Amino acid sequence: MRLTFLVVLLALAGACARGQAADAPSFEVASVKPAVPITGPLTAGMRLGCGGGPGTSDPGIWKCSFVNLADLIFRAYGLERYQFAPADWMVTARFDINAKVPAGTTKEQFQRMQQNLLVERFKLTLHHEQKEMATYELTVGKGGPKLKESAPDAALQMDEPGAVPRLHMGKDGYPAFAAGRGGMIGLNGHFRWTESNVTMADLVKTLSGQLGRPVVDATGLKGKYDIDMYWMVESMGMRGGAMGASQDSGTPMAEVDSGPTMIRAVQDQLGLRLDSRKGSADIVIIDHAEKVPIEN
């Protein structure tokens, strides 16, 4: 009797495990292949990185072109630059992905689908740890904020991630967007961020990604603001993955003398201040990932 009962319990456990796997959000169809190397120059309209899915103009298809595994992990798990230090091959190896998204998929389900795709195709396993590290505290500068509150109907058209935007060089020598458009772009170490309706939560998230450290908001500012700031970095990190063409393209690795650093830009252009602090942050450790994914 006890043996029969144990067998029934094991059978039920196995059925539950299979049911959980079957119920996990997944793409209807997904193709993952090594990308063909790009030999020519980037041109306006060329799409690199990932686009499509819920909340975009093409919600039923998710496509990634010439993207690395590190960027896919950042995207799927919503990580910041400081949370994950990828192995070299995760940055250099490039892939193309074409996936069909089920109708009615939410953004949360879509993110889970990306995670499951990495587990299935790259056999990805990871875990989280707490780590002591340098952080920044964002406060209002002595002269007060220089931020302009966005108009109630303010809305800039943002270029979809991965698209090479049409730009011109501004009088300040930094890339600039056409009227009515915005985003973040880096060209030869010259960066610009143009956006409306930016909250302090949005600002610290962007600063964290660019500076490679956690940023804590201590400004007390509650509004939504227009941002048009520019800065210079010596070299770009790998998050953009498309030679500075992505909206989240790069992380400053060192300060330079030929233009304002991001810290100086925050102070002079936004009237805010970044002060170094010590704190604890959640980081991700990759336990395993296959270099050659299961394609189909």
pLDDT in tens, 128-183: 999 999 999 999 999 999 999 999 887 777 665 545 556 677 778 888 888 888 88
Q: Please count the CA atoms within 13 angstroms of the CA of 272 that sit on its side-chain side.
A: 25
The DSSP secondary-structure symbol of 47 reads: B
Residue 296 CA: distances (Å) to CA of 75, 146, 289:
21, 52, 17
The answer to whether 163 and 43 are in contact (CB under 8 A) is no
Q: Is residue 293 part of a domain?
A: no
- 110 and 213 both lie in a single domain: no
- Which pLDDT does position 240 carry in this prediction? 36
Count of other CB atoms within 10 angstroms of residue 277: 14
Please report where in the chains the tokens 């319990």 appear, as a residue. Answer: 9
Q: Is residue 187 part of a domain?
A: yes
69/122 Cα distance (integer angstroms): 9
pLDDT > 90: what percent of the chain? Answer: 61
- Which pLDDT does position 163 carry in this prediction? 54
Amino acid at 116: N
The DSSP secondary-structure symbol of 144 reads: -
Q: Is residue 17 part of a domain?
A: no
The DSSP secondary-structure symbol of 78 reads: T
Q: Which residues pair with 252 in a beta bridge?
A: none
Which positions ≥6 away from 270 have C-beta within 8 Å?
A: 145, 146, 147, 227, 229
Q: Is residue 11 part of a domain?
A: no
Instruction: Report the residue count for the chain.
Output: 296
Query: What is the pLDDT confidence band of residue 14, given thresholds at 50, 70 and 90?
Result: very low
- For the entire predicted model, the pTM comes to 0.68
Q: Of 99, 129, 159, which residue sits at a domain end?
A: 129
Q: How many domains would you assign to the chain?
A: 2
Full residue range of the structural domain in which residue 257 is found: 132-281
- 75 and 155 both lie in a single domain: no
User: In this model, does residue 296 exceed pLDDT 60?
Assistant: yes
End-to-end CA distance of the chain: 45
Q: Of 98, 129, 160, which residue sits at a domain end?
A: 129
Query: What is the pLDDT confidence band of residue 45, given thresholds at 50, 70 and 90?
Result: low
190/176 Cα distance (integer angstroms): 10
- 232 and 277 both lie in a single domain: yes
- 206 and 254 both lie in a single domain: yes
pLDDT in tens, 208-241: 989 999 999 999 999 999 999 999 986 444 333 3
- 141 and 266 both lie in a single domain: yes
Q: Is residue 5 part of a domain?
A: no
Q: Is residue 174 part of a domain?
A: yes
Helix (H) or strand (E) holding 258: none
Residue 168 CA: distances (Å) to CA of 179, 187, 188, 233, 249:
11, 11, 14, 19, 18
The answer to whether 226 and 154 are in contact (CB under 8 A) is yes
Phi, then psi, of 233 in degrees rounded to 5: -130, 155
54/138 Cα distance (integer angstroms): 32
User: In this model, does residue 44 exceed pLDDT 90?
Assistant: no
